[in-house]
Amino acid sequence: MSLDTSRTGSRPGRVTAHDARQRLEHARNSRMAQLQALDATGQSAEDHLMSAQADAIRRVLEEIDEAFARIDACTYGTCLGCSKPIPAERLEILPYTRYCVACQSRAAA
């Protein structure tokens, strides 16, 4: 473990590595369950809507993996766009997000 969790005391509201991992694991488990449910129908390869859904879930799973890597690299919670901390409230809703709200909307525009 490379993260020094004792430092987080000076940053109220800052997401700890422990919390982040728990949220990411939860997000990953629910996406995996969704994928399995899609697979269980047995017709996902034929159905374009279903395969689009499965692709979207797989993309989120990749983002979750990247978020785990950022925890290991101690860059988790830092916006890749502006290098500012992503607000804890946003990380609670979207634990695998790479951008703050401003950069996300700029990227989507």
At its nearest, how many Å lie between Zn ion and the CB of residue 91? Answer: 13
CA dist 13 and 38 (Å) reads 37
DSSP 39-68: HHTS-TTT-HHHHHHHHHHHHHHHHHHHHH
Residue among 20 and 103 whose Cβ is closer to Zn ion: 103
Residue among 30 and 83 whose Cβ is closer to Zn ion: 83
Residue among 57 and 79 whose Cβ is closer to Zn ion: 79
CA angle 83, 97, 90 (to 5 degrees): 85
> What residues make contact with Zn ion under the rule CB under 5 A?
79, 81-82, 100, 103
At its nearest, how many Å lie between Zn ion and the CB of residue 107? Answer: 9
